[in-house]
Amino acid sequence: MGMIRTMRSVVRFRSFERDPDLRRMQMAANIKDLRAIAEKRLPQGVFDYVDGGAEDEVTYARNEQDFYNWEFVPSVMRDVSSIDTSSEILGQRAPFPLILAPTGFTRIVDPPGELSVARAAAARNIPYALSTLGTRSIEEVADAGAGGRNWYQVYVWKDRGLVRNMIERAKAAGYEALCITVDLVVPGRRERDVRNGMTLPPKLGLGMMLEGIRKPGWTWRFLNADPITFSNVVGFHEEDGTTAVALSTLVNDQFDASLSWADIEWFRSLWDGPMIIKGIQSVADARRAVQHDIQAICVSNHGGRQLEGAPTAIEMIEPIAQEVGDSVEIICDGGVRRGADIIKAIALGADSVMVGRPYLYGLGAGGLKGVEWVLDFFEEGMRRSMALTGVRSVSEITRDLVHRRP
């Protein structure tokens, strides 16, 4: 009995969490853990569609690894009892400088899909960009993220009437900004999808269904959910049907390889709010964006899913910032996995960062609660790293806070 009393005095067991989503979150210490949980819950083809990159996935791996090329130069005894992570994104205050990236086919990860992401973002006043290839409509996401900061991401498609329709709907629904993705004039070769027999969008063929049997939770959720469609395209081309599989030819045939800088004026004729160019990968193109009066540029290689051998965002931030200065807001997209990564990007000249896969891992691991976990993780990690490096506000994050490893 004495031993039991002694153990009780020094050991505290965590209470049992009845919510299964929260219980899974308790097993995660970082984004890598979330990724592992999502991989266990999702069919392999679905997970690979989310997780995979182009060709040999060297660029995809470097997106994350290149953050380790930069080390902090901490200052101590700085009175970090009060830390302010807030920042401005497109002229509006945000609790911390993070944006949720546009991702296609989100409902294949969890049935509510984009609605959960929009709700989590709105609750934190974090911008969320809905993809053209989203599986919830512009209007549904606006309702789910009511009061939040919704952006709409567009691809330049051959059918400009369809693009015009989506932009007009986003404007009517109160979206804050238009995010034009310019690095997908043709789809990259994502070889995990090739091996799995997946296409863009994924087709749930025999192999996928057999894999689904091994993941009964995922299968049950999707058998009881509404059919998955590219919700912002359905009804525009009635002859193409309403399922994602039937729309696949339309989507693949629509990417416009004739995209040029001259198209920016066409977008401006339809949209009078802030515009972001997503997919900038060179100093020269950053300069051109400024010349075209773009409000923000997203330095991005599409998560390593397009051009194998493209530069990583964190390596391009400083030269781009040195060239364009304060003329345009700079968003660093790709490889951000910790709050410390946000600080490194800002120190090198970014104004904010954008993340995609991390919140998809959260969605796959725990639905809405998983996305909320990811936002908490990044904000708390940023706050901790600021304290440990001796900075108390985002304005104190300067270039001398980091140096490149020899």
Q: Which residues are catalytic?
A: 302
Sequential DSSP letters for 374-399: HHHHHHHHHHHHHHHHT--BGGG--G
Q: Is there a contact between 338 and 303 (Cβ–Cβ < 8 Å)?
A: no
Which residue's entry shows tokens 């290839």? 133
Q: Are strands 98-100 and 352-355 parallel, antiparallel or unpaired?
A: parallel
- Rounded-to-integer distance, Cα 206 and Cα 219, Å: 13
- Rounded-to-integer distance, Cα 41 and Cα 52, Å: 16
- Rounded-to-integer distance, Cα 357 and Cα 362, Å: 9
Which residue(s) pair with 278 in the sheet?
181, 298
- Angle at Cα 226 formed by Cα 132 and Cα 180, nearest 5°? 5
Which residue(s) pair with 329 in the sheet?
296
Cα–Cα distances in angstroms (integers) from residue 188 to residues 98, 252, 316, 385, in the given order? 26, 11, 21, 35
Q: Which secondary structure element, helix H or strand E, spans residue 247, and what is its range?
A: helix 244-254
Positive or negative CA dihedral for 384, 333, 325, 267?
A: negative
- Rounded-to-integer distance, Cα 286 and Cα 297, Å: 7
